[in-house]
Structure 1
Amino acid sequence: MLLLTQVLVFIIGWVTALQNKSRETNKELPLWTRLTLSFSLSGAALLFWLNHLDSPYHRWVFFGMLLSTLGDLFMAGLIPFANHLIGGMITFSIAHVFYVVAFIQTADVTEHLFTSVLIYGAFLIIGWIFFIRNPAESKIFTVGALLYGLWVGGMAAVGLALALKLGGAWWWVAIGGSLFVLSDFLIGMTEIGKHPLRHAPLWIWGTYVAAQMGIIYASL
């Protein structure tokens, strides 16, 4: 029921955004939709942890989602910070550490890790070279985007290794990790690389919400 409610909220927000005539080329989800989804996902993660207190997966996923919600507040500009993108990078970097801890405490993934890291590493480096690297931006900023992308890719690689190890519903973790990479890649491509993407905020949030759902609901 909670998952269906979140999907319904997202659909209503998406339709509302598309009907916003004041933003014709860069429509975004209404703030109430973003906050509702972010806090409800944290609530879902907390609920699952409270129902499985002996599960390290649920415990660390909750902490990861909690940091992600903080990151969402930075990205929405609701927490004063010099640069909302940097504030989001810092908090999401910590969140991804918690997700990795959740994955590795669920199963030994070392036998599949090399292949997973190779896949995401190649994708992110090539993608950064052609779509994110921007000589007009600060070198520290663009290199930081690469390092952050590799950090997110590392989380996704561990998630893929977990799916390869356990199979079944754990493939939702791998899907969630890949959507996280895609969401952050779109941010880098549009905000740093300055490549136009019609309604980019909608696609960024769509892939982000689906990514979090994959990670949170996988173990159910």
Structure 2
Amino acid sequence: MLTKTEKLFSFIFLIIVIAELVCDSVESLNTYHYFTKPLILISLIIFFWKHSQNLDVNTKRFTLLALSFSLLGDILLMFVNTSANFFIGGLIAFLVAHIMYVFVFLKKKSTANNTLPFIVILLLYATILFYFLKDRLDDLMLPVIVYMFVILLMVVAAFSRKGSVSKNSYILVFLGALFFITSDSLLALNKFYAPLPFSSISIMLTYSIAQLFIVFGIKKQQ
């Protein structure tokens, strides 16, 4: 399923993610967190840039934009304790990243794939999640609703690729999209509903896996 290059990068990527989890969790190492967290996306950007020669220009461009805006979002969210504006900025950055991914995924949309049942399931999930969040969103109500809509669209777009790309590519991208919505759901619940145990670890792990799987999946689509 993975090439030797992808396995080697996965090992390096795992080390970077573990380093970030340690630096974020251990108070004496918190300063290094400002280096290890951006390094997660920086490593993905470099890897994708070097190993995406098989892809068309637009797919490569939009994927790099998605990763770059994700990196920007990561950096902005590191400063949320300084000002609430950093959270809004991070939200917008990831919103744009998801839109870039939607463009990439829809380029390989299968017309024979019935997405309606899956959309219904996602809407049910989003409704339940929103029920837990709504009372504490306040001024962020509209931005969060828009963000939820876009990430649901991203997941549906990932699902719609089934049958038009290789099985490996489809599975990796779709799993990546599911990990992404899981990570964002955990982040939202932790911020707006109630603190979750080991939230920083679970959010970062699911987010890192999401980005890694999506990159590998897009790389394998041709």
- TM-score (ref. length: structure 1): 0.83
The answer to whether structure 1 residue 104 and structure 2 residue 111 are counterparts is no
Question: How far 1:100 moved relative to its partner?
Answer: 0.9
Distance 1:166 1:119, change over 3 A: farther
Q: Distance in 1 between matches of 2:27 and 2:76?
A: 26
How far residue 86 of structure 1 moved from its aligned partner, in angstroms, is 0.9
Alignment pair present for 1:9 and 2:16: yes
**For 2:111 and 2:34, how far apart are their aligned partners in 1?**
38
Tell me, yes or no, if structure 1 residue 180 matches structure 2 residue 180: yes
Does the CA-based 8 Å contact 1:67-1:94 persist in structure 2? yes
CA offsets per residue over residues 186-205 of structure 1, 9 Å max, x none? 11111122x12122122111
The CA deviation string for residues 112-164 of structure 1, in whole angstroms up to 9 with x for no partner, is 332332221211111110x2222x441x3134323311211110111122136
- Provide the rounded CA distance (Å) in 1 between the counterparts of 2:28 and 2:158: 40
2:32 pairs with 1:33: no
Which string of whole-angstrom CA distances, capped at 9 and with x for unpartnered residues, describes residues 20-66 of structure 1? 2679xxx9x933221111211122222233x2353543332111111
Distance (whole Å) between structure 2 residues aligned to residue 200 and residue 137 of structure 1 = 19
Paired amino acid for 1:10 = V
Give how far 1:82 is off.
5.2
1:8 Cα shift? Answer: 1.7
Check the 8 A contact 1:68/1:91 in 2, yes or no.
yes
Q: Could you tell me how far 1:167 is from its partner in structure 2?
A: 5.6
2:4: which partner in 1?
none
5+ residue gaps, structure 2: 1-7
Unaligned regions of 5+ residues in structure 1, if any? none
* Residue 96 (structure 1) shift: 0.9
Report the AA paired with residue 190 of structure 1. N
Q: Corresponding residue for 1:213?
A: 212
Give the length in aligned residue pairs: 209
* Kept after mapping to 1: 8 A contact 2:172/2:213: yes
Corresponding residue number in structure 2 for 1:58: 60
- Aligned partner of 2:130 in structure 1 is 128
Q: Secondary structure of 1:155's match? A: helix
Task: State percent identity of aligned pairs.
Answer: 21
For 1:156, the equivalent position in structure 2 comes to: 155
**Alpha-carbon separation, structure 1, partners of 2:166 and 2:47:** 23
Q: Work out the CA distance in 2 between the residues paired with 1:128 and 1:165.
A: 33
Q: Secondary structure at the match of 1:203?
A: helix
Give the conservation status (yes or no) of the 8 Å contact 1:81–1:87.
Answer: no
Question: Root-mean-square deviation (CA), in Å?
Answer: 2.7
Q: Measure the CA separation in 1 of the matches of 2:76 and 2:59.
A: 26
Classify the secondary structure of the residue corresponding to 2:116.
helix
Does the 8 Å contact 2:77/2:86 carry over to 1?
A: yes
